[in-house]
C-alpha cells in the first residue's frame, strides 16, 4: 500500500497516518517530522529549514525531495508507505513519480482530507504535541495521554503563521488535488468529523 495523504496543515493527516501505520505496519514518512528532528538535532539542514518553518513557508523543493528519496530506500518503506506532508508542490509530485518509477513502484491512492480553513485555525492554535513521542493532543492535555511526556506548542502553530501556512497551502499544494484527480488516484474525505469516523471513510476509500 503506497499512499499520499493530502490536505491543509491541521486537516488531520498525522492522526490518520498514525492509525494506518498501526493497523497496516507500513512506513510513515512525514517530511514535517523529519525536518523537526533535524531542527532539534541542530544539523545544518535543520538550521537552514528552521527559518522557513518558523515563518510557515515551504522549505525549498530540492531539500525535501532529497530527504524523501533517501527515506524511500530504507527497509521499512519497502512494504509500503504513507507520505504525510509530501508532496506539497507540483515539482515535488513530479519528482516523486520519477523516483518511484525508477524503483519500479507507484502511488496506489492519494487521500485528500478536507476541512474548512476556519475550523483548522481553531484546531491548530489549540494543538499541542508531545516532546517525547510526538503524540498530537490539544491545550487541555496537561501531559501526554500516551506516554506522560511534556506537551508543547509547535513554533508554527500561532495564528499568524497558521494563516500563512494556509495561504501557502492554497497556492502551492491545493493544485495537487487536480494532479492526482487527473491520474485517477484521488479519494476525497470529509475531515471535519471525529478521527475514528474519518478513519472509517479513509479505509472504505482505500478498499481495506
Q: Which of 5, 18, 28, 85 binds ligand AMP (CB under 6 A)?
A: 85
Task: Give yes or no for residue 32 binding ligand AMP (CB under 6 A).
Answer: yes
Of 36, 128, 165, 187, which is the active-site residue? 165
Strand partners, 187: 111
Q: Closest separation between CB of residue 159 and ligand AMP, Å?
A: 15
When asked if residue 165 is in the footprint of ligand AMP (CB under 6 A), the reply is yes
- How far apart are the C-alpha atoms of 73 and 155, rounded to whole Å? 30
- Give residues with Cβ within 8 angstroms of 165, minimum separation 6: 8, 9, 56, 156
Q: At what angle do helices 31-41 and 61-72 cross, to 10 degrees?
A: 100
* Cβ atoms of residues 59 and 35 within 8 Å: yes
* Contact region with ligand AMP (CB under 6 A), list: 29-37, 74-82, 107-115, 139-147: 29-37
Torsion sign over Cα 75, 78, 84, 85:
positive
9 binds ligand AMP (CB under 6 A): yes
Among all residues, whose Cβ is closest to ligand AMP? Answer: 32
To the query of whether residue 105 is one of the catalytic residues in this protein, the response is no
The residues assigned a catalytic role are 13, 88, 127, 154, 165
Amino acid at each position: 500500500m503506497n499512499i499520499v495523504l493530502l490536505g491543509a496543515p491541521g486537516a488531520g493527516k498525522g492522526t490518520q497516518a498514525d492509525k494506518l501505520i498501526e493497523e497496516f505496519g507500513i512506513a510513515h514518512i512525514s517530511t514535517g517530522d523529519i525536518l523537526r528532528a533535524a531542527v532539534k538535532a541542530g544539523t545544518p539542514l535543520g538550521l537552514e529549514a528552521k527559518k522557513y518553518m518558523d515563518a510557515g513557508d515551504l522549505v525549498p523543493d530540492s531539500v525535501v525531495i532529497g530527504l524523501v528519496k533517501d527515506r524511500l530506500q530504507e527497509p521499512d518503506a519497502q512494504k509500503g508507505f504513507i507520505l504525510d506532508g509530501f508532496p506539497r508542490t507540483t515539482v515535488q509530485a513530479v519528482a516523486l513519480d520519477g523516483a518511484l518509477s525508477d524503483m519500479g513502484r507507484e502511488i496506489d491512492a492519494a487521500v485528500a482530507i478536507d476541512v474548512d480553513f476556519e475550523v483548522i485555525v481553531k484546531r491548530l492554535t489549540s494543538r499541542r504535541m508531545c516532546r517525547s513521542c510526538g503524540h498530537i493532543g490539544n491545550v487541555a492535555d496537561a501531559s501526554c495521554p500516551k506516554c506522560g511526556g511534556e506537551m508543547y506548542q509547535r513554533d508554527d502553530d500561532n495564528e499568524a503563521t497558521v494563516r500563512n501556512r494556509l495561504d501557502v497551502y492554497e497556492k502551492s499544494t491545493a493544485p495537487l488535488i487536480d494532479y492526482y484527480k487527473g491520474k485517477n488516484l484521488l479519494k476525497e474525505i470529509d475531515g471535519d468529523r471525529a478521527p475514528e469516523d474519518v478513519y472509517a471513510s479513509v479505509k472504505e476509500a482505500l478498499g481495506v
